[in-house]
Amino acid sequence: MPVLGVTQILAWASSYYLPAVLAQPIANSTGWPLSWVVGGLSLGLLASGLISPRVGRTIEQRGGRPVLATSSILLALGLSSLALSHGLPIYLTSWFVIGIGMGSGLYDAAFATLGRTYGDKSRQAITALTLFGGFASTVGWPLSAYLVGLVGWRGTCWVYAALQLAFALPIYLFILPREERRELGGQVQARERKAPRESNASVRDLNRFRLLFTLVAAGLTLGDVIWSVLSVHLITILQARHVSVHEAVALGALVGPSQVSARVVEMLTGRFHHPIWTMIGSAVLVTAGVALLWAGGSLVAFGFILYGAGGGIRSIARGTLPLALFGSVGYAVVMGRLAMPSLLAQSVSPMIAAWVLERLGPLVLVRVLMAIAVCHLATVAVTWAVARQAGRLQAEAQ
């Protein structure tokens, strides 16, 4: 669904990727501490995580059309308030509103919408959507930088708010299909509580089912922690390796093309394998990339390529693996619940990483990230073992 991909680019550019360009101009203009300015995004992610289970349940009941349309309105309101903010309380409140819009309009909500619409056949649509999303920073950062130079940071917020209302909202309202309302309780509870019993599974099978859900949530969360920390602190880490700022930016530029390239490969080959192998491949690539970053030297650039590729296909596995393991019935609810721990972790992990940087130094932070990457890989391996034992890898790949 190309139109949903285009609105994803706009949604990411006007929310998650906004502080990367606007944070310093906002701090310079207002005199607010940069840490508080960047902290607005953390507050937004916190709000996004808190509402994600509710978003999933609403999409399961009503479909994605009204939820995604509401996300455009919320993003427009938050951005307009951001443009008008002349004090930190209003600024942070604006980010809380933007965060609710993020929780109801970014990947997890979009994946849930596709799963609700296409059911078990939504894997290709989810993969295609992430391919569009891979261009969000490529489009968003230069556009934001251009707008800041043209109309300032407040004008940039107004432009993005106008685009949400004039472009994204009509697409959601008039192009996305209207879906019939579903009664949530009986259908989802049957999947969550009765499905194992209906197949004559024992209590042990039911516990394994719950364990599998926990492992998937843990794997997604650990991967997102690594990604969020490096997104914020990458240049500082590279400078500790005696890499100049310009070289660090050039190295960081390798991540985007690697993401998109890996997603193209996954789109072409994904139908031949189960999504668990996409997640395993992602964990291996990210762990290898962080290991090369830790080792330093001439292989750092190759490490960035591996890391970007792993992060690229992890976004695909985020949407396709729960669908393959837990089915399309109640998929939107599952996505909402899986999103919550991940988003909450993303809201605090960059701040914790900043404390490690200040107190213990960049090299210690890289070691911590390496340990998290190894835990991530181990978690994914255990997920494969439990899924295989539970018989959830026996079905043909979609």
Which tens digit of pLDDT belongs to each residue from 228-266?
888 777 777 777 777 776 777 677 777 778 888 898 898
Per the CB < 8 A criterion, the answer to whether 287 and 373 are in contact is yes
User: What is the predicted pLDDT for the residue at 68?
Assistant: 94
Phi/psi at 255 (nearest 5 deg)? -65, -45
Contact 266, 318 (CB under 8 A): no
Give residue-wise pLDDT tens across range 330-357.
Answer: 888 988 999 999 999 988 998 888 888 8
Enter the tokens of residue 210. 């719950």
- Mean pLDDT, range 44-72, rounded to an integer: 92
Question: Which tens digit of pLDDT belongs to each residue from 287-326?
Answer: 999 998 888 777 888 888 999 899 889 989 998 999 888 8
- 163 and 217 inside one domain: no
Residue 199 lies in a domain: yes
Beta strands in the chain, from DSSP E residues, in sequence order:
none
Does the residue 396 lie in any domain? no
Query: Has residue 247 been placed in a domain?
Result: yes
Are 326 and 290 found together in one domain? yes
Q: Do 40 and 165 contact (CB within 8 A), yes or no?
A: no
Q: Do 262 and 379 belong to one domain?
A: yes
Percentage of residues of the chain with pLDDT beyond 70:
91
Residue 109 lies in a domain: yes
Tell me, yes or no, whether 346 and 291 share the same domain. yes
- Judge whether 181 lies within some domain: no
The letter for the amino acid at 4 is L
Task: State the pLDDT confidence band at 393, using cuts at 50, 70 and 90.
Answer: low
Fill in the DSSP letter of residue 297. G
pLDDT, tens digit (0-9, with 9 covering 90-100), for 135-157: 787 788 888 889 999 999 999 99
Answer with the residue of higher pLDDT: 79 or 129: 79
163 and 305 co-located in one domain: no
What pLDDT does residue 181 have? 76
Tokens at 173, concatenated: 């309202």
Q: Are residues 216 and 164 located together in one domain of the fold?
A: no
Pull the structure tokens for residue 57: 């349940």
Q: Given 108, 139, 174, which residue is the final one in a domain?
A: 174
Residue 23 domain-assigned (yes or no): yes
Read off the pLDDT band of 206 (50, 70, 90): low
Lowest mean pLDDT of 35-49, 89-103, 192-206, 293-307, name the range: 192-206
Q: Is residue 188 part of a domain?
A: no
pLDDT band for 188, please (50, 70, 90 cuts): low
Highest mean pLDDT among 166-175, 182-191, 200-209, 268-277: 166-175
CA 367: distance to chain centroid?
24
| Burial of 243 per CB tally in 10 Å (0-12, 13-18, 19+) | middle
Identify whether residues 8 and 83 lie together within a single domain: yes
Question: What's the helix, strand, coil split of the chain in %, to 5?
Answer: 85, 0, 15
Q: Based on the structure, what is the number of domains in the chain?
A: 2
Do 258 and 123 lie in a common domain?
Answer: no
DSSP character at residue 192: I
Tokens of 355: 């404390």
pLDDT number for residue 294: 81
Tell the burial category of 210 from Cβ atoms under 10 Å away from its Cβ (0-12, 13-18, 19+). Answer: exposed
Is the per-residue pLDDT at 213 higher than 80?
Answer: yes
Using an 8 Å Cβ cutoff, are 274 and 393 in contact? yes
- Cα–Cα distance between 396 and 247 in angstroms, integer? 45
**Average pLDDT of the segment spanning 257-280:** 88
Q: How far is the first Cα of the chain from the last one, in angstroms, to the nearest whole number?
A: 18
Confidence of residue 7 (pLDDT cuts 50, 70, 90): very high
| Residue 125: predicted pLDDT | 86
270 pLDDT exceeds 60?
yes
Tell me if 56 sits within 8 A of 334, measured CB to CB: yes
Query: Are 203 and 329 within one domain?
Result: yes
Look at residue 185 in the predicted model and tell me its pLDDT: 56
Residue carrying structure tokens 């650990």: 222
Query: What average pLDDT score do residues 104-133 get?
Result: 86
**Distance (Å, rounded) from C-alpha 37 to C-alpha 95?**
10
Are residues 258 and 318 both part of a single domain?
yes
Determine the pLDDT at residue 330: 85
Q: Are 142 and 242 members of one domain?
A: no
Q: Angle between the 136-163 and 64-84 helix axes, to the nearest 10 degrees?
A: 80
The SS3 assignment for 286 reads helix
pLDDT of residue 186 exceeding 60: no
State the pLDDT at residue 298: 77
Q: Residue 351: exposed, middle, or buried by beta-carbon count in 10 A (0-12, 13-18, 19+)?
A: middle
High-pLDDT (> 90) share of the chain, %: 43
Domain-terminating residue out of 117, 140, 174: 174
Dig out the tokens for 358 from the structure: 């200040």
Residues 116 and 259 in one domain: no
| CATH code for position 291 | 1.20.1250.20
Asked if residue 44 belongs to a domain, the reply is yes
**What's the pLDDT tens digit per position in 163-181?**
999 999 999 999 888 877 7
Enter the tokens of residue 349.
């992990």
Q: Which domain holds residue 73?
A: 2-174
